[in-house]
Amino acid sequence: MNSIGKQVLSALKSEISEIDYQRYIKQLTFNDVESKSNLAIFNAPNPLIANWIRTKFSEKMAHLFEIKTGIKPTISIIVQSGKNIPSSPAVIAAPVERASGSLLNPSYTFQNFVVGGSNNFAFIAAKNVSEKPGVVYNPLFIYGGVGLGKTHLMQSVGNVMLAQGKTVIYTSVEQFLNDFSRHLSNRTMDRFKDKYRKCDLLLIDDIQFLSGKNQIQEEFFHTFEALRNENKQIIITSDKHPKKIGGLEERLKSRFEWGLVADIQPPELETKIEIIKKKCEINRVKLDREVINYVATIIENNTREIEGILSKLNAYSQLMGVDITIEFTRNVLKEQMAEKRSNITTDLIMDTVAKELNVKSSEIRSKSRNSNIVYARRIAIYLSRSLTPNSMPQLAQYFGMKDHTAVSHTMKKIQELMKNDEDFRIKVEELSNKVSMVTSE
C-alpha cells in the first residue's frame, strides 16, 4: 500500500507544474517512521531544495494531508544525511534552520549560469563577491533588461552563502516596504532593524521601484549604511544604471556606485544556445541540436521565454506521444511566430537587415558588388519574399534588379546555402525572427 506521504506527493503532482515536480518534489522522500498524524516529515537531498519546498509548497502539502486524513499536520522538510547526495559537503552540512525566511531558487547557481560576452563582467563580479563578501565590491549593483539573468546571478551569490550557513535575505522593494509598514504599525521596528541590519547578505531585486517612494528610501538608506559599516554584503539589481533611476535621492544614487556597477547585455546567439542546453539539462528535456538552434532564433532577448517554450514543447510531445522533432517544434511554435508576422514590410526587413549586418539601407538597394552588401541584399530579398506578400516582380523593382528572374535566382541561392550551411541558416532564421519581433513591439 502507498503510504499517506506518497499519496500526498502524487496528489501534489497534479497541482503543480511538471517542472516543479521533477525538479523539487520528486526529490522528497516521506519519513514513515518518524512522522505522526500532526507532523509530516519529508527528507530532502539538500538545504536549498528543502528551503524552496518549505516556502513554496508546504502549505499546499499540509492542505492535501488534511483532505486525506482530516488533520492538518505541520510539514517538516529536513535534510537527509548520507548517501547519493549530489551537492557539495558544505551544502549538506549547513544547518537547515538558517535557511528559512529567505526565498532563493536553488537552481539559480553559478554552475547553472551560462557565461558569454554579454554577461561575463557581471558574472565575474558576482563570483568574486561570493568568495569575499563585504570586501571586494560593496554594494554590487547589477543592471540590465528583463530576463537577462540579474536575479539568477544575485541569487547565485545567495545560494553560495546560504550553503555556508550565512544569513541571506532576498527581497523586493515591495516586500521591504510591506515589512516596514507592518513593523511600523505593530510598533516592532526593532525587529525590522534586527532582520535587515543583521544579515550577512542583503539582496534587493529591482531597486528601480524605489523611485518616488520617499519614506522607504530613507529607511533603505539607513539599512544600507548599517550593513556597509559592518562590512555586510549588499547586492542590488535594477533595470537601469543608478544615475538613470528617476525619483531617487542623490545620496542613494551615489552610494549605489560606491562598489561596482556591472551591466548585463542581451545574449549573443551562441549564449542563447548554451542557455537552452542548460535549461534542457536542468529540466530533463531532451532536444536535438537542430531544435535547440531553432528555439534560440525564436527567443529574442528575454531568456525567460525559454522555460515557457520548453515546457510547452514537453507538454505537447507527451500529450501526443511524439518526439520533439524540428517539424514538430515549428508547428507548436508556429502560432507564436505567426502572430508576430502579420505586418512585416519590405522597408522594415531592409532596415533590420541593414542594422544587424552593419550596412546602410541605401547600399542594400544600390548596385554595389561589395561582398558584405551583396550578402545583406540577398538575405533581405529572401526574407521579403518569405515574410511579405510581395511578388517577385515587385521585389525586383524594389531592390533595383533587372527582373523577377534575378529575384528567383537569389531565392534559390539562399535556399541552397541554408540547406548546406547550418550556421548560415541559423543566422537567416535569427534575422527573420528579429524582423518579426520588431513588428510585435
Nearer to Mg ion, 154 or 248 (CB): 154
CA-to-CA separations, 293 to 69, 287, 312, 329, 440, in angstroms, rounded: 49, 10, 17, 11, 22
How is residue 349 written as a grid cell?
526587413
CA dist 432 and 355 (Å) reads 13
Nearer to ligand ADP, 64 or 202 (CB): 202
CA dist 68 and 61 (Å) reads 11
Task: Figure out which of the listed residues 65, 113, 192, 382 binds ligand ADP, where binding follows CB under 6 A.
Answer: 113
- What, of ligand ADP, Mg ion, none, does residue 114 touch, CB below 5 to 8 Å by kind? ligand ADP
**Coil/strand/helix, residue 288:** coil
Task: Figure out which of the listed residues 104, 148, 234, 376 binds ligand ADP, where binding follows CB under 6 A.
Answer: 148
Residue position matching grid coordinates 543566422:
427
How is residue 144 written as a grid cell?
540590465
- What, of Mg ion, ligand ADP, none, does residue 307 touch, CB below 5 to 8 Å by kind? ligand ADP
- What, of ligand ADP, Mg ion, none, does residue 410 touch, CB below 5 to 8 Å by kind? none
Q: Which stretch binds Mg ion (CB under 5 A): 149-157, 248-256, 262-270, 308-316?
A: 149-157
Number of neighbours of residue 235 by Cβ within 10 angstroms: 28
| Least distance to ligand ADP, CB of residue 278, Å | 5
User: Which H, E and C letters describe 317-337, residue by residue?
Assistant: HHHHCCCCCHHHHHHHHHHHH
Using CB under 6 A as the binding rule, whether residue 114 contacts ligand ADP is answered as: yes
Nearer to ligand ADP, 114 or 431 (CB): 114
Nearest Cα to 196, choosing from 224, 160, 162, 165? 224
Number of neighbours of residue 433 by Cβ within 10 angstroms: 19
Binding mask 75-94 for ligand ADP (x = CB under 6 A): --------------------
Nearer to ligand ADP, 18 or 351 (CB): 18
Task: Figure out which of the listed residues 43, 151, 297, 346 binds ligand ADP, where binding follows CB under 6 A.
Answer: 151
Using CB under 6 A as the binding rule, whether residue 268 contacts ligand ADP is answered as: no
Task: Figure out which of the listed residues 40, 275, 359, 414 binds ligand ADP, where binding follows CB under 6 A.
Answer: 275
Using CB under 6 A as the binding rule, whether residue 124 contacts ligand ADP is answered as: no
CA dist 250 and 233 (Å) reads 21
Nearest Cα to 295, choosing from 417, 307, 120, 383? 307
Interacting residues toward ligand ADP by CB under 6 A: 112-114, 119, 146-152, 275, 278, 303-304, 307
